[in-house]
Structure 1
């Protein structure tokens, strides 16, 4: 970081590339006892000070992990079993390397 770089808490400011899945994205799943337990695991990866990049997505400061949920997924309405996503990303390209579905 140079003297002229400025980081604004909870703002992506163009620092992070748009995420995308490819045919190489590994789809994985894990089952937890509660939504709180699943979120706790996700927070261990995104860290203490995640960046809100919009669209219900929080990304780690280093851009390697992302936690997200889409409408209806937390309750399971129309999206199967309730879950959140924890995604391992390529921080340079934004490609999703692993998409973990954390169910409860």
Structure 2
């Protein structure tokens, strides 16, 4: 079996204009109704010495993103929902500003 060598004009239909080091981080998140959703991490940022991740529904990428906080315990990192209203308001304001700047740069 020969190994396929991808190139700009190889004709295999594979998109070669992306970074091959790109790794999609997918999480299974259970919503308030108990439905499991595949969520893809699309952005991370920090605020007040805490790290946050923005996830989009893999099957509904046009839906609003959800922000989770990274927590570490016993050398494991996991995502937790943000319960504190002041923290939620702060991180959503930060992400909205990031999204606004991103949208302006793409225009």
TM-score, normalised via structure 1 length: 0.29
Question: Which has the larger helix fraction?
Answer: 2
Q: Which has the higher contact order (CA 8 A, sep 6+)?
A: 1
Bigger Rg over Cα: 2
